[in-house]
Structure 1
Amino acid sequence: MTKTTLTEFIDLCVRDPFAKTLYCVDIPRFYVWNNKRWQRRKAGMRVQLHPCILEANVIWRVYTVSLNSGDLYYMRLLIHHVKGPVSFDELKTVYGVILPSFKDACREKGLLHDDAHWQHTMEEAERTRFPRAMRDLFVVLLVNCEINNPTDLWGRVKDSMSADFHHLEQRTLYDHTLLINGKHYNQALSYLQEKLVTFGKNLQQFNLPAPQNLHVHYVVRNREFLFEQQYNTDEQREFVEEKEPFLNPKQENVYGFICDCLNRDIGKLIFIDAPGGTGKTFVNNLILTKVRSSGDIALSVASSGIAATLMPGGRTAHSRFKIPLTIKDNDLCNIARNSDTAILLRNTRIIMWDECPIMRRESFEAVDRTLQDVCKNNAPFGGILTVCSDDFRQLLPVVKRGNDADVENACIKKSYLWRKFRKFELKNNMRVDEDRLMYSRFLIDAGEEKLQNNNNGEIELPKDMVLPFRRIEDSIDFTYPSFENSAELFSKNCVLVPVNESVRNINSICIRRFPGNMKEYC
C-alpha cells in the first residue's frame, strides 16, 4: 500500500502512545514528515508532562476534498474529530459499533445534525475560492447534502457568492462606490437555478428565492451550447444552395446518404476514405453548413489543431471530448452527465471527425463509451450520426517505441467499432491538372502498395520523377533560378527535406545568395 501522511499517522498511533492523544491536524506540531514516516521533532519547546516530546509552532494544511468524493470527504471530517485512530475502522466506530460508512459515523457523532459544518465549509470557501467556485460548491451542497436551512446558509454567504457580479458592474460603470445590491444577488440566483436544473431540481425546492430574470442584465448560460447555435441560418442556407451544384458524383453519393440519415434521424458510423485533393474538406464543411442551416447542432472536430482550423467551429477531439492524454482500454472521457458539454452532446445531430486515422483506437472507444453514458443510449457513439474521414495512406497513430505490429494494433481498424462503419471512397483529385494527375495517382498506388518493390523492399521512383542532382546547391538552383526580385518565386516554390539540419544548410546557402548586405539581429 502506498504510504501517505494519513496512513502513516494511523501507523504512528499504533506505535507511539503520545500520538494517540492527538488529532491528525496536530501531528506536525510534534512530528516531522521524513522519508515517508512521521518522526519526533529534535528541536522545539518541551511539552509539559512529556519531557521527551518537543513542540514547534508550525502551520499544516490538510488536503481539500470535494463533496463529490463521497466517503472520502466524510473521512476527512472524522480525522478532525477522532483522536489517535489505529485503523480506518476505528474512525467509523461509534459507541463500540463499526458503522458501514464514514458518512454514517459522521451522522452518529452528531457532525451532520445541524448546518454548522456546511456553514464552516462555505466560510472556508470564502477564504480560498472565487465566487463562481463558491456557487458551484453551494449547488453541490444543496443537491448532495442534507442542509436543514438552505435559506439561512444563503443569507450568510450571498455577498461572497455575488461578489464577481458586483465587481463587474463597478468596473463597467467606473463607480467603485457602488454597493452590492439585489440585482447582484439575483444574478447569483440565476446561476444557481441554471445549475440546479441540470440535476432536475430548482431553487423553490430548497425554499430559496426564485430569480427575477426580467431585470437581469447578465444571465449565465451554457456557453458551449450558445457557441454552437451562433450561426446565421440564412447565411448557412445560402452557402448550401451555392455549393451543392459543385459536388461531383462520388461526393454527391456521400452527401446524399448522410442527408438521408439526418432526415430519418438514424445514428450511423460513416467513414470517408479521401486522399488529399479529393474534396474531403469541401464535403465536410458542406454537411456542417447543411445541418446548421436548420438551426441544429453539428460538432466539427479533428485529430490535429491545423486540421481543426479548416472546419468552421472546429476544435481538436481532445478538447471537445475531454479525451485523457494517457489513455488505456476501458477508459472514459472526463465528461460528467450533468456538465455543459454533456448537455451539448445530447443535443448534437452530427459529429464530423477529420484526420481520424492518426488517433489511437482507445481514444475512439473512450469517446464511444462516454457518449453512450452521457446520452443514455447503447448505440455506437450514443446514437449520434458520426462521420469520420481522412486517408490511411498518410499517417497512422504514433506509438512510443512501438514496432509495426504495435502501430497496427493502435489503429482504429483494430477497434470493435470499425466493422460498424459504412465506408465511402473519394478518388477524383480536384486540385491537380492533367499534367500532375500522374503524380497524384502514383501517391495513391504507393499508399495502397500497388507499386513494385526492389530486393530491399524499397519503392523505386520512376526516372521522370527524379532529378539527376547530387549536391544540394543543384537542387536550390533548380528550385530558385534567380534571387533578384524573387518574392513570387519563393512564395510558390520550396525545397522539402526530412531533417532540420538540412533545412538550416539550405537556408544558410539561400541567405548568402540574396542581394545586399547581410545583417544579423540578436
Structure 2
Amino acid sequence: MHMVAYKATDNLNNVVSQEKSKRSMLTEYFYMNRADPLARQCLYREFPEHFRWLKGTKRWQRRVKRPQIGRIVYANPAEGEREACEAIGLVETDKSLDDCLTESATFQMPCALRRLFATIIVFCEATNIRALYDKHFQSLSEDYHRTYTNAGTVEQLVLRDIGYIVHSMGKDIRSYGLPDLDESDESSGDYVREVIEEMSVGVDQEHLHIIDTLNMEQRVAFDEIMDHVVNRRGNVFFVDGPGGTGKTYLYKALLAKVRSLELIAIATATSGIAASIMPGGRTAHSRFKIPIKLSVDGMCNFTKQSGTAELLRRASLIIWDEVAMTKRQAVEALDRSLQDIIGCSLPFGGKVMVFGGDFRQVLPVVTRGTRAQITDATLQRSYIWDNIVKIHLTRNMREQSDPWFSEYLLRIGNGTEKTICDDYVRLPDDIVISYNTENPDESVDRLIQFVFPDLHKNATSASYTSTRAILSTKNDHVDELNARLIEKFLGKEMTYYSYDSVDDDSCNNYPLDFLNSITPNGLPPHMLKVKINCPVILLRNLDPHNGLCNGTRLMVRAFQKNVIDAEIIGGQHAGKRVFIPRIPLCPSEDISLPFKFKRKQFPVRLSFAMTINKAQGQTIPNVGIYLPEPVFSHGQLYVALLRGVSRQATRILAKPNEEIDATGRMGEAAKTLFTEMY
C-alpha cells in the first residue's frame, strides 16, 4: 500500500489508473532487483546508499560516484610537518598515555606510578587499559618484586593497590578489564574498606593537647558538641566567627578527641585547600557524592548499600567547614540522604553535625546572579537554618599581636567601616604600595619583590613557596602576574599545549586557533609554561584521599613531555610526590558556550598568584593583594585581607580612584582609597 495524492476535482478512477500512481519506492525496489545486479546485493534499508529516488518519475537511479574530500584535519601552516608537530607535542597521538607511563617509570617511584595508572584509567578515557597494564606491569610492580618471589602474589598486591586508589576516586577496578582481584579477604569489601580507611586516620597527639589551650568560647563549644557525641544525641551546630577566631583550631581538637575514643569523625570542607588543613579532610562534594547539578529535591549520589552510606551510618561526628560558600541545595541534599539511609526523620538522620563558616566572606557563586539570588543560595535561606544551634566565636586570636588591625578587619567584614561616596573605604597607609600611574609595571614589581624576596635563592624551598602568594580578583589579572613571575623564575622550562576539540563539529565551524584562544573558567590554559620548582595549583579533584583536591598547591619537581612530577606543599599530605597526566576536561554546564568544548591538558595552573575566591580557607603568612579594579562581590576585600597573619606581612597594590578624596572631593588623598562594592 502506498500514498497517492490527488485534487478534490480529479476523477479518482483516472488518478488510480495512471502508471506512476502504481509505483512506490518499495515496488520500484523490487523492479530494480530484477533489472540491476547491484540492487540484488542491497537490503531495502541499504538501498539509498547506492541509489537515489527520483520523485518526479518515481524511479530509483544509480548514484554516480564522484571524487569527494572528507573532513580535513586542521593544521596551521606555521606548525610545519605533522610529524614534527607530534614530536614536540602539538598533536595528540594514541600512544600519549603509553608514553606518559614510560616517562614516569624513569623516576623509579612505583608507588606513585600505581597512583598515576589509577588516575589514567579513571580520567583519561584510555581505549585499551589491559594493554597498558600488561606493558607496564614490570614498572608498576618493581618494589614488590624485591620482596616477593611469587608472581601471583606480586600481581595481587599491585591490583589491590590500584583498586584501593580507584575506589577512593569513587570507581570500581572491576570495570576496567584488568586481571581478577582476589577478594576472598572480607576486608576488601567496599563497605568495610570505606570504614577502615576512615578509622585508619591517625590521632595527632599535638591536637589532643590543643584541648587544654582552648579559650573560654572554644571550650564551651567543645564541651557541648562532645556531650552530644558521647551520649549519642543528634544535633546540628553552626560555628560562626570572623577569621582568626580559631574555628579550625576547634575542629582539630574535636577530631582528635572523637578519634581517640575509637569513634569515626568525618572532616570535610567546601574547598580543597580548607579540607587539606584538617586531618583526614576531604572536599564535601567528594565525600558525600553531592551532584554537580543541584536540584530543589536532589539527593546525594550514593545508595543505601554503598560504602559511603555505611560510613555515614557509623559516623559519630561530621564536620563541614566553609559551608557559607556552599549552595544551600547541597546541604539539603545531604540532609535528605542521611534521613533516607538511617531511616530517621530528624535533621541529618539524627547525626551530630558541625557546620562552620563566616557569612562575611565570599558567598556561593551564582553565575550572573543578582545580590538577591546569591543571598537566596546561602544556608541562611534554607529550611535547615532554624533547627541549627548557633555557636559564636568572637575572640580574635590575632588581637594580642595587632589589636587595631584585627578590629579594622572586623569592621570591613561587618560593613561598619566608614565609607566614602557609599562604596569606598580607606586602606591603612602602612600596608599600601603606592601606585605609579606613569609606570604601573614598576609598582607590580615592588609588590612581587615584597611577597617573593630573594626568589632565585629560595626557588627550591617548599616552605618558602607554600607561605607566599599574590591574590587578585579575576583570572585575567592572576594570569598576568603568573606570566610575569614565571619569566623571572630560573630553571629548566617546558611548554605544554592542549588538545582542543568540539563534539559534533563535523563542519569545522570552530577553527582550532579560536578554540586555543579561549580559557573557560576552571580550565587550564592552552599554553601552559612551567619550570622546575615553580608552584602550581590543581584544578580538579583527582584523588582527594591522597591529597589531590581542587585547590591543592604543588611544586613541579620534574617533567617529561607527557607527565609532570610534583610535590604537594600544603596540608596533611605535604611532601608527597605525585605524577600528573593530561586529562580531558570540559567546562561546567553553567558556562555559556554554544558548543560542547573539550580540552585535554594538565589540570593545573601556575600559582604564584591566585584568585581571592580560590584562597578562601587558608592562611598565607606572606600575602600580596593586587587590585587593578574594584572588588566585585560580597566579602572579597575582607577575605583577601584575612589571608595574612599580620599587617607587617600584608601589602596591597590598588589602582586608586583619583576622582575623590577622603572628604568626597577630588584630590591626591584618593590614592589609598579602594572600593568594597557589596
TM-score (norm 2): 0.43
Offset at 1:427?
2.2
Structure 1 residues 321 and 511: alpha-carbon distance in aligned structure 2, compared to 1, 3 A threshold: closer
Correspondences of 1:118-517 after superposition (within 5 Å): 220=189, 222-231=192-201, 235=203, 238-239=205-206, 241-431=208-398, 433-434=400-401, 436-463=402-429, 466-471=432-437, 472=440, 473-474=442-443, 476-477=445-446, 480=449, 487=457, 496-499=471-474, 502=477
Q: Judging changes above 3 Å, is the alpha-carbon distance between structure 1 residues 474 and 338 closer, same or farther for their aligned structure 2 residues? A: closer
Q: Secondary structure at the match of 2:255?
A: helix
Match of 1:160 in 2: none
Aligned with 2:427: secondary structure? coil
Residue 265 of structure 1 aligns to a residue whose secondary structure is coil
- 1-side partners of 2:434 and 2:355: how far apart? 41
Q: 1:328–1:499: structure 2 CA closer, same or farther, 3 Å change rule? A: closer
Question: In structure 2, what residue type is equivalent to 1:223?
Answer: R
Single out whichever of 268-277 and 348-357 deviates more from structure 2.
268-277
- Kept in 2, the 8 Å contact 1:393–1:444? The answer is no
- Runs of 5+ unmatched residues, structure 1: 1-15, 19-27, 33-39, 45-51, 53-168, 179-210
How many Å apart are 1:452 and its aligned residue? 2.7
Percent sequence identity over matched residues?
32
CA contact (8 A) 2:207 2:252 kept: no
In 2, are the aligned partners of 1:512 and 1:518 still within 8 Å (CA)?
no
Residue 142 of structure 1 corresponds to: none
- Distance in 2 (CA, whole Å) between partners of 1:337 and 1:283 is 32
Letter in 2 for 1:345: L
Measure the CA separation in 1 of the matches of 2:266 and 2:188: 25
Pick closer, same or farther for the CA change 1:243–1:520 going to 2, 3 Å. closer
Partner of 2:101: none
Equivalent-residue separation in structure 2 for 1:310 and 1:501 (angstroms): 28
Residues 334 and 30 (structure 1 numbering): CA distance in 2 closer, same or farther, change over 3 Å?
Answer: farther
Whether the 8 Å CA contact 1:279–1:430 is kept in 2: the answer is yes
Distance between the aligned counterparts of 2:361 and 2:215, measured in 1?
A: 24
* Structure with greater contact order relative to length (CA < 8 Å, sep ≥ 6): 2
For 2:197, the aligned partner's letter is F
Taking a change above 3 Å as real, the CA distance of residues 30 and 444 of structure 1, as seen in their structure-2 partners, is farther
- In structure 2, the CA distance between the partners of 1:267 and 1:17, relative to structure 1 (3 Å rule), is farther
What is the alpha-carbon distance in structure 2 between the residues aligned to residue 415 and residue 346 of structure 1? 24
> Whole-Å Cα distance in 1 between the matches of residues 363 and 476 of structure 2?
25
> Deviation string for 1:303-323 (max 9, x for gaps)?
111111111111111111111
Shift of residue 358, structure 1, vs aligned partner? 0.8
Distance, in Å, in 1 between the alignment partners of 2:293 and 2:472 is 31
Query: In terms of Rg, which structure is larger?
Result: 1
* 1:76-120 C-alpha deviation (Å, 9 max, x unpaired): xxxxxxxxxxxxxxxxxxxxxxxxxxxxxxxxxxxxxxxxxxxxx
Cα pair 2:183 2:189 within 8 Å, conserved? no
SS of corresponding position for 1:480: helix
Contact persistence 1:445–1:451 (CA under 8 A): yes
Distance 1:272 1:17 in 2: 76
1:401 alignment partner, SS class: coil
**Secondary structure, in 3 states, of the residue corresponding to 2:390?**
strand
Cα distance in 2, alignment partners of residues 268 and 394 from structure 1: 25
CA gap 1:174/1:31 in 2 versus in 1, 3 angstroms: farther
Equivalent residues of 1:301, 1:314 under 8 A apart: yes
SS of residue in 2 equivalent to 1:446: helix
Larger helix fraction of residues: 1
SS at match of 1:394: coil
Q: Distance in 2 between matches of 1:323 and 1:17?
A: 54
SS at match of 2:355: strand
**Partner Cα distance (1:432, 1:365) in 2:** 36
Q: Is the 8 A contact 2:433 2:447 kept in 1?
A: no
Say if 1:356 and 1:388, in contact at 8 Å, map to a contact too.
Answer: yes
Q: Note the C-alpha offset of 1:487.
A: 4.5
Letter of the 2:193 counterpart? R
Letter in 2 for 1:498: T
CA distance in 2, matches of 1:280, 1:484: 34
Secondary structure at the counterpart of residue 316 of structure 2? strand
In structure 2, what is the Cα distance between the partners aligned to 1:30 and 1:296? 69
Higher strand share: 2
Deviation at 1:488, TM superposition (A): 6.7
Q: How many residues align?
A: 333
Q: CA deviation at 1:370?
A: 0.4
Q: Report the TM-score when normalising by structure 1.
A: 0.55
Aligned residue for 1:367, secondary structure, equals helix
Residue 365 of structure 1: how far off its partner (Å): 0.6
CA distance change for structure 1 residues 495 and 433 in 2, over 3 Å: closer, same or farther?
farther
- Describe the shift of the 1:416–1:499 C-alpha distance in structure 2 as closer, same or farther (beyond 3 A): closer
Contact 2:299-2:334 within 8 A present in 1 as well = yes
Shift of 1:220: 3.3
How much has 1:219 moved relative to structure 2?
5.0
Unmatched segments (≥5 aa) in structure 2: 1-24, 28-41, 52-59, 61-140, 154-181, 496-678
CA distance in 2, matches of 1:288, 1:336: 26
User: Against the structure 1 CA distance between its residues 247 and 217, is the aligned structure 2 distance closer, same or farther, given a 3 Å change threshold?
Assistant: closer
Q: CA deviation at 1:498?
A: 3.3
Correspondence for 1:129: none
**1:240, distance to aligned residue in structure 2 (A):** 5.4
Coordinate RMSD, CA, aligned: 4.4
Superposition deviation, residue 241 in structure 1 = 4.5
CA distance in 2, matches of 1:274, 1:303: 17
Task: Give deviations 1:60-84, integer Å, cap 9, x for gaps.
Answer: xxxxxxxxxxxxxxxxxxxxxxxxx
Contact 1:273–1:426 (Cα < 8 Å) also in 2: yes
CA contact (8 A) 1:367 1:381 kept: yes
Distance in 2, matches of 1:314 and 1:411, equals: 23
Secondary structure of 1:459 counterpart: strand
Distance 1:333 1:493, change over 3 A: closer
Which residue of structure 1 lines up, in the alignment, with residue 57 of structure 2? none
* AA of the residue aligned to 1:298: A
Give the Cα separation in 2 of the matches to 1:512 and 1:212.
52
Give the aligned partner of residue 72 of structure 2.
none
